Amino acid sequence: MVKISNRLMTVASLISEGNVLADVGTDHGYVPIYLMEQGKIPHAIAMDINAGPLERAKEHIAGCGMGDYIETRLSDGLEALQAGEAESVLIAGMGGGLVIHILEAGEAVARSARELVLQPQSELERVRIFLEKNGYVTDAEDMVFEDGKFYPMMRVHYEPENAAGQRDNAGLSKGQKTPVSERGEERQLGYLYGAGLLEQRHPVLLAYLKKERNTYQSIYENLKKQPAGEHIEKRQREIENALAQNEKALAYYGEIQP
């Protein structure tokens, strides 16, 4: 049995049972192998842009006797995948900007999947805004802490009626009753921290928020010691705003600072 990290195990748990999986940036092929061993998926396509990692994935797949069930493809993002060929698409372990690039470049393929499981390593706010503007709906979120790092992840699917171009003049999408302007503050917190994680009062997010608060408070105290100037004042306002957002998020847990 293949052994995988808690991060990858949690990512794998978001893949729906019975779906054909396309693993983008598969590296060693651990997630497809793990899911096959669990009997959760019938077939997988392991893809990577680099020949070296893909060759290692092939070796691991063969060593586990999975060659008939997991195929490998050299692919830049979703380039080597056809629309409708995979029901689940996994994009994990890469920067948020690259995740967005892959979804944009392979738009037709991404939209054809039943679900996308994403685990961006950075720029979470940017990724969440991109998903919302481009018609993706978040079905589930999770977060783990491993080896000193926090890893948020999400499962989404595409709904064309939710794309920005399909909203009416009031800023509403199909089935949505509350105007965007009335939900701005709540939406901003969702972009920053994950609406699903906040609603769950996820314990790992709470740990992240406490660490973030301490970091911002330390930065702010150091700024106060610096000579006054326009740059310092601007940075202080940025930190004050960040602390205000952090406090609103902590309020979900009853963790408001006195």
Domain of 201, CATH number, reads 1.10.287.1890
Q: Which domain holds residue 81?
A: 6-166
Structure tokens of 178? Answer: 């509350």
pLDDT level of residue 178 (50, 70, 90 thresholds): very low
pLDDT at 164: 63
User: 52 with 137, same domain?
Assistant: yes
Structure tokens of 198? Answer: 């906040």
CA dihedral in degrees (154, 157, 158, 164; nearest 10)?
A: -40
Distance CA 95, CA 74 (A): 20
Length of the chain measured in residues: 258
Question: In the predicted model, is pLDDT for residue 227 greater than 60?
Answer: yes
pLDDT at 229: 87
Q: Is residue 67 part of a domain?
A: yes
Could you give the number of structural domains in the chain? Answer: 2
Largest Cα span, the chain? 67
List the beta bridge partners of residue 143.
Answer: 152
* Half-sphere exposure in the Cβ direction for 255 (13 Å, CA): 21
Whichever domain contains 56, its CATH number is 3.40.50.150
Domain boundary, last residue among 112, 138, 166: 166
pTM of the model: 0.90
User: 203 with 77, same domain?
Assistant: no
